[in-house]
Amino acid sequence: QGLKPLVPTESPDLIFGTSKPTPGLPATEPSLNTNKVPDLQKVFQRSDGLPIHLKRGYPDKMLYRTTMALTIGGTIYCLIALYIASHPKTQ
């Protein structure tokens, strides 16, 4: 007769730690087995004078330019809309 043990005697079922392969993926997928972090660390830690958001080359440059163009275009559009709203049409 005593108190129930605080720690369960059985280990709980693993939820995320299964060692079974995912059914939809092939077992020999090379992109799943290679660790790309050390290579990316070398790229981003290189001291070449480029900002961190432009280190990976052409795709980063295009993404940066597209973002800047949309930002400037949106700002101009907002200023035009504000100007039009501040000068209502007279009837």
pLDDT per residue as tens digits for the range 31-54: 667 888 888 888 888 888 888 888
Query: 42 lies in a domain?
Result: no
Query: 43 lies in a domain?
Result: no
Q: Is 66 helix (H, G, I), strand (E, B) or coil?
A: helix
Query: 2 lies in a domain?
Result: no
> Is the CB of residue 55 less than 8 Å from the CB of residue 43?
yes
Residue 8, pLDDT score: 59
Residue 74 and residue 68: Cα distance in Å, rounded? Answer: 10
Query: 85 lies in a domain?
Result: yes
pLDDT < 50 stretches in the chain: none
Domain count for the chain, please give it. 1
Residue 71 and residue 77: Cα distance in Å, rounded? Answer: 10
Backbone phi, psi, residue 57, to 5° = 95, -145
Backbone phi, psi, residue 66, to 5° = -65, -45
Residue 26, pLDDT score: 59
Whole domain around residue 65: which residue ranges?
A: 51-90
Residue 16 and residue 32: Cα distance in Å, rounded? Answer: 17
Query: 45 lies in a domain?
Result: no
Residue 67 and residue 62: Cα distance in Å, rounded? Answer: 8
Residue 16, pLDDT score: 66
